[in-house]
Amino acid sequence: MSFVCSSATLSSLEEGFQNKIEALKICNDLRGGWAGDTVEDCGQLSVEVNQLQRDLVWYRNMLSQARKDLAAARTLIEQVQQLSARLTHMKTNMPSHIPRPGGQASPQHDHIKKPPVQTKDNPPANAQEKSAAKVGPQKTRQVKTVHFITVEEFESVPKYIRGRLQYDQVNDAVSEVNRALEAKYALMVRPRNKLSETDMTIVRACKYQENQETKGVHFVVGDDIKRWSALRMDSCGRSLLTILRTLRRLREIRGPGNIVRLAAV
Protein backbone atom coordinates (compact mmCIF):
# COMPACT_ATOMS: atom_id res chain seq x y z
CA MET A 1 0.00 0.00 0.00
CA SER A 2 1.42 3.44 -1.00
CA PHE A 3 1.87 6.30 1.50
CA VAL A 4 -0.82 8.25 -0.38
CA CYS A 5 -3.47 5.72 0.55
CA SER A 6 -2.15 5.11 4.04
CA SER A 7 -1.75 8.81 5.05
CA ALA A 8 -4.41 9.93 7.49
CA THR A 9 -3.47 13.62 7.62
CA LEU A 10 -1.92 16.22 5.35
CA SER A 11 1.19 16.26 7.53
CA SER A 12 1.79 12.56 7.02
CA LEU A 13 1.12 12.97 3.28
CA GLU A 14 3.67 15.80 3.12
CA GLU A 15 6.17 13.70 5.01
CA GLY A 16 5.71 10.89 2.49
CA PHE A 17 6.41 13.20 -0.45
CA GLN A 18 9.49 14.58 1.29
CA ASN A 19 10.82 11.06 1.75
CA LYS A 20 10.32 10.29 -1.94
CA ILE A 21 12.05 13.54 -2.95
CA GLU A 22 15.00 12.71 -0.70
CA ALA A 23 15.24 9.25 -2.26
CA LEU A 24 15.23 10.77 -5.76
CA LYS A 25 17.95 13.21 -4.79
CA ILE A 26 20.10 10.37 -3.54
CA CYS A 27 19.54 8.50 -6.82
CA ASN A 28 20.45 11.65 -8.75
CA ASP A 29 23.65 12.10 -6.80
CA LEU A 30 24.61 8.47 -7.35
CA ARG A 31 23.97 8.74 -11.08
CA GLY A 32 25.84 12.00 -11.45
CA GLY A 33 22.86 14.15 -12.37
CA TRP A 34 19.89 13.88 -14.67
CA ALA A 35 20.96 13.88 -18.32
CA GLY A 36 18.62 14.23 -21.29
CA ASP A 37 18.59 10.51 -21.97
CA THR A 38 17.60 9.51 -18.43
CA VAL A 39 13.95 8.97 -19.25
CA GLU A 40 14.86 6.99 -22.35
CA ASP A 41 17.26 4.79 -20.39
CA CYS A 42 14.66 4.17 -17.70
CA GLY A 43 12.11 3.25 -20.36
CA GLN A 44 14.53 0.77 -21.97
CA LEU A 45 15.28 -0.75 -18.57
CA SER A 46 11.56 -1.09 -17.93
CA VAL A 47 11.11 -2.93 -21.25
CA GLU A 48 13.98 -5.28 -20.44
CA VAL A 49 12.66 -5.94 -16.92
CA ASN A 50 9.22 -6.77 -18.34
CA GLN A 51 10.80 -9.16 -20.86
CA LEU A 52 12.76 -10.82 -18.06
CA GLN A 53 9.54 -11.26 -16.10
CA ARG A 54 7.85 -12.90 -19.10
CA ASP A 55 10.84 -15.17 -19.64
CA LEU A 56 10.80 -16.11 -15.97
CA VAL A 57 7.10 -17.03 -16.17
CA TRP A 58 7.80 -19.14 -19.29
CA TYR A 59 10.67 -20.99 -17.61
CA ARG A 60 8.52 -21.63 -14.55
CA ASN A 61 5.78 -23.12 -16.74
CA MET A 62 8.35 -25.27 -18.54
CA LEU A 63 9.73 -26.49 -15.22
CA SER A 64 6.25 -27.32 -13.95
CA GLN A 65 5.45 -29.29 -17.14
CA ALA A 66 8.80 -31.09 -16.91
CA ARG A 67 7.98 -32.18 -13.36
CA LYS A 68 4.63 -33.55 -14.53
CA ASP A 69 6.33 -35.38 -17.43
CA LEU A 70 8.90 -36.83 -15.03
CA ALA A 71 6.17 -38.11 -12.70
CA ALA A 72 4.33 -39.65 -15.67
CA ALA A 73 7.57 -41.28 -16.87
CA ARG A 74 8.17 -42.80 -13.44
CA THR A 75 4.62 -44.20 -13.44
CA LEU A 76 5.21 -45.72 -16.89
CA ILE A 77 8.49 -47.26 -15.73
CA GLU A 78 6.72 -48.89 -12.77
CA GLN A 79 3.98 -50.23 -15.05
CA VAL A 80 6.54 -51.62 -17.50
CA GLN A 81 8.45 -53.27 -14.65
CA GLN A 82 5.23 -54.85 -13.34
CA LEU A 83 4.32 -56.04 -16.84
CA SER A 84 7.81 -57.47 -17.33
CA ALA A 85 7.59 -59.34 -14.03
CA ARG A 86 4.15 -60.66 -14.96
CA LEU A 87 5.32 -61.83 -18.39
CA THR A 88 8.34 -63.51 -16.82
CA HIS A 89 6.06 -65.30 -14.35
CA MET A 90 3.73 -66.37 -17.18
CA LYS A 91 6.66 -67.66 -19.24
CA THR A 92 8.03 -69.60 -16.27
CA ASN A 93 4.64 -71.05 -15.34
CA MET A 94 3.25 -71.68 -18.83
CA PRO A 95 0.65 -74.52 -18.63
CA SER A 96 1.70 -77.61 -20.49
CA HIS A 97 -1.49 -77.65 -22.61
CA ILE A 98 -0.75 -74.26 -24.21
CA PRO A 99 0.57 -74.61 -27.79
CA ARG A 100 4.24 -73.78 -28.19
CA PRO A 101 5.65 -71.63 -31.05
CA GLY A 102 6.19 -73.73 -34.16
CA GLY A 103 4.18 -76.65 -32.85
CA GLN A 104 0.89 -77.78 -31.46
CA ALA A 105 -0.19 -78.56 -27.97
CA SER A 106 0.76 -81.97 -26.66
CA PRO A 107 -1.97 -84.59 -26.43
CA GLN A 108 -4.09 -84.06 -23.39
CA HIS A 109 -3.02 -87.27 -21.70
CA ASP A 110 0.52 -85.87 -21.57
CA HIS A 111 -0.60 -83.06 -19.26
CA ILE A 112 -0.93 -85.21 -16.15
CA LYS A 113 1.37 -83.50 -13.73
CA LYS A 114 1.63 -86.02 -10.92
CA PRO A 115 2.30 -89.71 -11.54
CA PRO A 116 0.07 -92.10 -9.60
CA VAL A 117 1.49 -93.72 -6.52
CA GLN A 118 3.30 -96.91 -7.45
CA THR A 119 2.32 -99.84 -5.25
CA LYS A 120 2.00 -103.56 -5.62
CA ASP A 121 -1.64 -103.16 -6.58
CA ASN A 122 -1.13 -100.02 -8.65
CA PRO A 123 1.65 -100.46 -11.26
CA PRO A 124 3.49 -97.53 -12.88
CA ALA A 125 1.49 -95.25 -15.17
CA ASN A 126 3.48 -96.23 -18.27
CA ALA A 127 2.60 -99.88 -17.69
CA GLN A 128 -1.07 -98.95 -17.35
CA GLU A 129 -0.95 -96.88 -20.52
CA LYS A 130 0.64 -99.72 -22.47
CA SER A 131 -2.00 -102.15 -21.29
CA ALA A 132 -4.75 -99.60 -22.06
CA ALA A 133 -3.51 -99.29 -25.61
CA LYS A 134 -4.01 -103.01 -26.28
CA VAL A 135 -7.43 -104.54 -26.75
CA GLY A 136 -7.04 -107.71 -28.75
CA PRO A 137 -4.07 -108.50 -30.99
CA GLN A 138 -4.00 -105.33 -33.13
CA LYS A 139 -6.74 -103.09 -31.72
CA THR A 140 -6.22 -99.88 -29.76
CA ARG A 141 -8.62 -98.20 -27.39
CA GLN A 142 -8.68 -94.42 -27.17
CA VAL A 143 -9.91 -93.12 -23.81
CA LYS A 144 -12.07 -90.02 -24.22
CA THR A 145 -10.70 -87.25 -22.04
CA VAL A 146 -11.87 -83.79 -21.03
CA HIS A 147 -10.76 -80.78 -23.08
CA PHE A 148 -9.14 -77.85 -21.28
CA ILE A 149 -11.16 -74.64 -20.97
CA THR A 150 -10.31 -71.20 -22.31
CA VAL A 151 -10.23 -67.93 -20.38
CA GLU A 152 -13.36 -66.77 -22.22
CA GLU A 153 -15.23 -69.91 -21.19
CA PHE A 154 -14.12 -69.49 -17.59
CA GLU A 155 -15.31 -65.88 -17.51
CA SER A 156 -18.67 -66.93 -18.99
CA VAL A 157 -19.42 -69.05 -15.89
CA PRO A 158 -21.74 -67.15 -13.53
CA LYS A 159 -19.99 -65.58 -10.56
CA TYR A 160 -22.13 -67.45 -8.05
CA ILE A 161 -20.79 -70.72 -9.48
CA ARG A 162 -17.15 -69.64 -9.83
CA GLY A 163 -16.89 -68.07 -6.40
CA ARG A 164 -13.20 -67.43 -5.69
CA LEU A 165 -11.91 -70.21 -7.93
CA GLN A 166 -9.24 -69.28 -10.45
CA TYR A 167 -8.85 -70.24 -14.11
CA ASP A 168 -5.75 -72.38 -13.55
CA GLN A 169 -7.52 -74.33 -10.78
CA VAL A 170 -10.19 -75.44 -13.24
CA ASN A 171 -7.66 -76.67 -15.78
CA ASP A 172 -5.76 -78.43 -12.99
CA ALA A 173 -9.03 -80.20 -12.18
CA VAL A 174 -9.33 -81.17 -15.88
CA SER A 175 -5.87 -82.74 -15.68
CA GLU A 176 -6.83 -84.69 -12.56
CA VAL A 177 -10.11 -85.96 -14.06
CA ASN A 178 -8.24 -87.06 -17.20
CA ARG A 179 -5.69 -88.76 -15.01
CA ALA A 180 -8.43 -90.72 -13.24
CA LEU A 181 -10.10 -91.64 -16.55
CA GLU A 182 -6.89 -92.98 -18.04
CA ALA A 183 -5.89 -94.87 -14.91
CA LYS A 184 -9.35 -96.46 -14.62
CA TYR A 185 -9.57 -97.67 -18.20
CA ALA A 186 -5.94 -98.76 -18.20
CA LEU A 187 -6.84 -101.05 -15.32
CA MET A 188 -10.07 -102.21 -16.99
CA VAL A 189 -8.24 -103.64 -20.04
CA ARG A 190 -5.43 -105.38 -18.18
CA PRO A 191 -5.43 -109.18 -18.45
CA ARG A 192 -7.19 -110.87 -15.56
CA ASN A 193 -4.20 -113.03 -14.76
CA LYS A 194 -2.15 -109.86 -14.08
CA LEU A 195 -4.63 -108.35 -11.64
CA SER A 196 -4.27 -108.58 -7.88
CA GLU A 197 -7.24 -109.24 -5.64
CA THR A 198 -7.52 -105.52 -4.89
CA ASP A 199 -7.48 -104.69 -8.60
CA MET A 200 -10.09 -107.35 -9.31
CA THR A 201 -12.36 -105.84 -6.66
CA ILE A 202 -11.96 -102.39 -8.27
CA VAL A 203 -12.64 -103.78 -11.76
CA ARG A 204 -15.81 -105.54 -10.57
CA ALA A 205 -17.00 -102.31 -8.92
CA CYS A 206 -16.34 -100.37 -12.14
CA LYS A 207 -18.22 -102.90 -14.25
CA TYR A 208 -21.13 -102.82 -11.81
CA GLN A 209 -21.42 -99.05 -12.43
CA GLU A 210 -21.93 -99.62 -16.18
CA ASN A 211 -25.38 -99.82 -17.71
CA GLN A 212 -27.09 -99.34 -21.05
CA GLU A 213 -26.74 -95.54 -20.80
CA THR A 214 -22.96 -95.71 -20.30
CA LYS A 215 -22.32 -97.88 -23.36
CA GLY A 216 -19.47 -96.33 -25.35
CA VAL A 217 -19.02 -93.63 -22.68
CA HIS A 218 -15.95 -93.08 -20.51
CA PHE A 219 -16.83 -91.98 -17.00
CA VAL A 220 -15.53 -91.84 -13.44
CA VAL A 221 -17.22 -91.68 -10.06
CA GLY A 222 -16.14 -89.98 -6.86
CA ASP A 223 -14.20 -93.03 -5.65
CA ASP A 224 -12.24 -93.13 -8.92
CA ILE A 225 -11.23 -89.49 -8.51
CA LYS A 226 -10.15 -90.10 -4.92
CA ARG A 227 -8.23 -93.24 -5.91
CA TRP A 228 -6.41 -92.07 -9.04
CA SER A 229 -6.08 -88.29 -8.79
CA ALA A 230 -5.01 -85.53 -6.42
CA LEU A 231 -8.38 -83.75 -6.69
CA ARG A 232 -10.09 -83.64 -3.32
CA MET A 233 -13.80 -84.23 -3.25
CA ASP A 234 -14.44 -81.42 -0.77
CA SER A 235 -16.50 -78.27 -1.35
CA CYS A 236 -13.77 -76.78 -3.57
CA GLY A 237 -13.45 -79.97 -5.62
CA ARG A 238 -17.20 -80.24 -6.07
CA SER A 239 -17.33 -76.61 -7.20
CA LEU A 240 -14.64 -77.33 -9.81
CA LEU A 241 -16.64 -80.27 -11.13
CA THR A 242 -19.77 -78.09 -11.21
CA ILE A 243 -17.91 -75.60 -13.42
CA LEU A 244 -16.88 -78.42 -15.78
CA ARG A 245 -20.49 -79.60 -15.96
CA THR A 246 -21.65 -76.01 -16.60
CA LEU A 247 -19.17 -75.74 -19.49
CA ARG A 248 -20.31 -79.14 -20.83
CA ARG A 249 -16.96 -80.81 -20.29
CA LEU A 250 -18.63 -83.38 -18.05
CA ARG A 251 -22.18 -84.67 -17.80
CA GLU A 252 -23.84 -86.57 -15.01
CA ILE A 253 -25.33 -90.04 -15.42
CA ARG A 254 -27.27 -90.97 -12.29
CA GLY A 255 -28.68 -94.20 -10.96
CA PRO A 256 -29.54 -96.74 -10.07
CA GLY A 257 -29.43 -95.76 -6.43
CA ASN A 258 -26.98 -93.06 -5.43
CA ILE A 259 -24.42 -93.72 -8.19
CA VAL A 260 -23.34 -90.47 -9.83
CA ARG A 261 -21.14 -90.88 -12.89
CA LEU A 262 -19.14 -88.05 -14.47
CA ALA A 263 -18.83 -88.76 -18.19
CA ALA A 264 -16.37 -87.02 -20.49
CA VAL A 265 -18.20 -85.06 -23.17
Check whether 170 has a pLDDT greater than 70. Answer: yes
Tell me the helices (H) and strands (E) count for the chain, helix number first: 10, 3
58-65 own/partner pairs: CB under 8 Å, 24+ apart: none
pLDDT at 28 (0 to 100)? 72
In-domain check, residue 103: no
**pLDDT (tens digit per residue) in 222-244:** 999 999 999 998 999 999 999 99
Buried/exposed 200-227: b ≥16 CB within 10 Å, e otherwise: eebbeebeebeeeeeeeebbbbbebbeb
How many domains is the chain partitioned into structurally? 3
47 lies in the same domain as 177: no
Q: How confident is the model at residue 129 (pLDDT cuts 50, 70, 90)?
A: very low
* Higher per-residue confidence, 170 vs 108: 170
When pLDDT is averaged across residues 236-254 and rounded to a whole number, the result is 93
When pLDDT is averaged across residues 195-199 and rounded to a whole number, the result is 91
173 lies in the same domain as 198: yes
27 lies in the same domain as 42: no
161 lies in the same domain as 235: yes
Burial class (CB in 10 A: 0-12, 13-18, 19+), 30: exposed
Contact 4, 13 (CB under 8 A): yes
Q: How confident is the model at residue 34 (pLDDT cuts 50, 70, 90)?
A: low
In-domain check, residue 99: no
Domain of 18, in residue numbers: 1-34
pTM for the whole structure: 0.50
* Higher per-residue confidence, 29 vs 235: 235
As a residue count, the chain comes to 265
Q: How confident is the model at residue 100 (pLDDT cuts 50, 70, 90)?
A: low
C-alpha 28, offset from chain centre: 78
How distant, in Å, are the alpha carbons of 1, 9, 12, 14, 22 from that of 6? Answer: 7, 9, 9, 12, 19
192 lies in the same domain as 139: yes
Strand 260-264 versus strand 250-254 pairing type: antiparallel
pLDDT at 29 (0 to 100)? 74
